Structure formats: structure tokens, C-alpha cells
């Protein structure tokens, strides 16, 4: 059983590595960012509240996120293992997660993978990031371009850029990440299940390291 948590700055490669893990191990990915973006797109009450925080690069409140995750983890597809991408982001979320897993699911986190990328790399990585609306696959205009420039796999649907992937918002998101990162890492260090991975390398190289960890 693999219940994986990804830690790492925005743009560290959590989403990309999650895609590889899903393919190889057949477990599901839960991305709170993707869930919130879906809520914003649907115009739901949650989406309306979340949008305000997201557009400013701030964290949505712990209360909202924890409620959202509690509901998500109760779904049957989580029973065979999962990757958490973008959650937990605060110490309060990490503690709630442990309790939810223990009490509601009689399970626990098996691996915490911290993908480490220095800030200097992040802005270029994120501002060049594009997503395929067809498959959800993540591209980069320079480092991982699609087959047809600017287009999704069908060659005709334009790739999209996340609203919060603009430079000013990225800087704020990085600042917010650093406010929480040390506390989260030290919380998980004591579990003996924290693995640090150099996220500056090519995606395949990073994945090879992750495969070793998940063996
Ligand atoms: P992400 O796609 O993980 O970069 O998340 C995009 C945005 O969604 C973040 O900048 C936050 O505003 C919000 N968000 C996603 N996950 C969380 C979380 N665990 N706690 C608080 N806010 C979150």
C-alpha cells in the first residue's frame, strides 16, 4: 500500500511526478489545487470563496481545505493508495490528515517526498507551465513542449495557463510556501518516512529516484 504525500514549492514538479506514479503504480492522485480550480470553474459556493484566495496567491483556509479532503478521502477509490499533491500545506492540515487517516480509514501515510527546487528556478518553470485541457497533462513551453506548439494532444485545442501562474502571483505563492515549509518538514522528519529529492534534475531522473524510494 502506498499513501504518498508530495511536499515542494509550486512548480517543483509534484504534478508531473504524480503523473508518472499514477501510470506505474495505478494509484490515484488527489490535488487540492485541481479540486479548487474545478470548483471555481463550476462557479460553486466553494469556488467563489476559493477564487479570492487563489488569485492573490494566498492559502485557502484550513477549515475549508480539511473539510474538502475529509469528503474526498471518504470516496472508495482512496482505499488502494493515493498521492496527495498540494496537501497538506500547513501544520494544522498535516495533523488533521493523520487523524482522518487513522480514525476514518485505519491507515497512514507511507512516504513523504519533498521535491526540492531553489527559488531561482521556480519563476521560469511556472511562468512557462501550460496545461492540456484535453488530458490534463502538464507541459512547459521550453523544457517540455507539446508536439504541436501551443496545442493539446489533438493538435487544435490551445494549451492553457493557470490564472495564478503569472509572475506576481508566483512570487506571493513562493513566499507563502516558505512560511510553512520548515514546520511541515520537521513534523514529517520525526516519522522516519521523509525523503528529500533533488527536483532540479530532468523529470525522468527525478522519477528514477522516486522509484527507488517507493520500492
Ligand atoms: P496548487 O495547484 O497546489 O498550486 O494550488 C493552487 C492554489 O489553491 C494555492 O495557491 C491555494 O490558494 C489553493 N490551495 C491548494 N491547496 C491548498 C491547501 N492544501 N491549503 C490551502 N490552500 C490550498
Give the domain ranges of the chain. Answer: 2-27+80-117+175-214
What residues contact residue 54 under an 8 Å CB cut-off, 6+ apart?
Answer: 36, 37, 40, 60, 163, 164
Q: What are phi and psi of 190, to 5 degrees?
A: -70, -15
Helix then strand count (H, E) for the chain reads 8, 7
Mean residue pLDDT across the chain: 96
In this prediction, residue 184 has a pLDDT band, given cuts at 50, 70 and 90, of very high
Report DSSP state, residue 64: H
Active site residues: 14, 89, 129, 162, 173
Q: Is 35 helix (H, G, I), strand (E, B) or coil?
A: helix
Report DSSP state, residue 107: -
Pocket test for ligand 1, best of 37, 54, 56, 125 (most atoms within 8 A of CB): 54
What residues contact residue 71 under an 8 Å CB cut-off, 6+ apart?
Answer: none
26 is in an annotated binding site: no
% of the chain exceeding 90 in pLDDT = 99
162 is in an annotated binding site: yes
pTM for the model stands at: 0.93
| Residue range 193-202: mean pLDDT, rounded | 97
Tell how far CA 189 is from the center of its chain: 20
- Which of the listed CATH numbers 1.20.1280.260, 3.40.50.2300, 3.30.1330.40, 3.40.50.300 matches domain 2-27+80-117+175-214? 3.40.50.300
Centre of ligand 1 to C-alpha 148, Å, is 30
Amino acid at each position: 500500500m502506498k499513501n504518498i504525500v508530495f511536499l515542494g514549492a509550486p512548480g517543483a514538479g509534484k504534478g508531473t511526478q504524480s503523473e508518472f506514479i499514477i501510470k506505474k503504480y495505478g494509484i490515484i492522485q488527489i490535488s487540492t489545487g485541481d479540486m479548487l480550480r474545478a470548483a471555481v470553474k463550476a462557479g460553486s459556493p466553494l469556488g467563489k470563496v476559493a477564487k479570492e484566495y487563489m488569485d492573490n496567491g494566498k492559502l485557502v483556509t484550513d477549515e475549508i481545505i480539511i473539510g474538502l479532503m475529509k469528503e474526498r478521502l471518504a470516496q472508495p477509490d482512496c482505499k488502494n493508495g493515493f498521492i496527495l499533491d498540494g496537501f497538506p500545506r500547513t501544520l494544522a492540515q498535516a495533523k488533521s490528515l493523520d487523524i482522518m487517516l487513522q480514525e476514518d480509514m485505519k491507515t497512514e501515510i507511507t512516504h513523504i517526498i519533498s521535491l526540492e527546487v531553489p527559488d531561482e528556478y521556480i519563476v521560469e518553470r511556472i511562468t512557462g507551465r501550460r496545461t492540456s485541457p484535453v488530458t490534463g497533462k502538464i507541459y512547459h513551453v521550453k523544457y517540455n513542449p507539446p508536439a504541436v506548439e501551443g496545442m493539446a494532444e489533438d493538435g487544435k485545442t490551445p494549451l492553457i495557463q493557470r490564472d495564478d501562474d503569472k509572475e506576481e502571483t508566483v512570487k506571493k505563492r513562493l513566499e507563502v510556501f516558505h512560511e510553512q515549509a520548515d514546520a511541515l518538514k520537521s513534523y514529517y522528519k520525526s516519522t522516519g518516512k521523509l525523503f528529500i529529492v533533488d527536483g532540479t534534475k530532468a523529470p525522468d531522473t527525478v522519477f528514477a529516484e522516486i522509484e527507488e524510494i517507493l520500492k
